[in-house]
Amino acid sequence: MATLNLLIKFSIAITATTALGFFASSANALSLTSSSANWSNPVGGTNIKYQTVYTEKQIRWGQDVGNGQSGLGFKGVGSLNFNIDQVFKVGTLTHYNKAIASGTAASKVDLGINLNFSGLPITSQTFNFSFNIDETPNVGRVSDCPYYSVTVCSDKITFSTPKNVNTFSLAGLDYTLQLVGFSQSATGTPVNNFISQEGGSNSAYLYAKITAAPPKRVPESSSALGVVAFAALAAVSRLNQKQRLKSLAKV
């Protein structure tokens, strides 16, 4: 049993070393060439419209009452380098917060973020996330608004699930891309919600992080384990044989 555990650990170590070998100069360095995104699956909302304005992908909704439709936009980033476990900017999210007719707002929408890498076996990977949109009624006093408001009443954008994680595989190892949060300042600490003031276009940087998932136990029957196990078993056998010879020589 101890020998089997040794073989499993040895197999995992070999696989991890192979995967990390795909990364460029630094063992944990990643090079992003660009990011982009597409919106889909709105929940609620009327008059749904998809459009591209310059390089920004937008989804718009609601009955226009004279100020335009509400909606969300995403603009990707250009090339940048970052490390595993390092927070990086994945794009800019803009909320078009317009007064629209009651009951015509979307409450949730999906965003598929596409990341393009260089120097990796996977050059492009798409990650899917969902956002909740709380478009509040624009009535009453500012002091009665549910979120900090300059005018009646600000709205709130949040992730639909607490973890916001997508998993992908690279050379047999699992990695996760996690959305870390929003920041309305390039130097600000990301937070898990985005408060958008009424009557304007409000933007926030969207930050993410790629981490290595814990290694999975390699099944005994896998071909990879079989190859590694054979080599390791041969090494252990040779070591045992040498030890036996030494013990015999002392007799």
Residuewise pLDDT in 10s, the chain (251 residues): 444 444 333 333 333 333 434 443 345 788 999 999 999 999 999 999 999 999 999 999 999 999 999 999 999 999 999 999 999 999 999 999 999 999 999 999 999 999 998 887 777 889 999 999 999 999 999 999 999 999 999 999 999 877 788 988 876 788 899 999 999 998 899 999 999 999 999 999 999 999 988 766 655 554 444 444 434 444 444 444 334 333 433 33
On the 0-12 / 13-18 / 19+ scale of CB atoms within 10 A, 2 is: exposed
pLDDT of residue 30: 87
Name the pairing type of β-strands 165-170 and 29-44.
Answer: unpaired
- Least Cα distance to 126 among 222, 249, 37 occurs for 37
Distance CA 102, CA 251 (A): 95
Beta bridge partners of 83: 29
The pTM of this model reads 0.75
Beta bridge partners of 50: 59
Confirm if 80 and 205 have CB atoms less than 8 A apart.
no
* Amino acid, single-letter form, for residue 86: Q
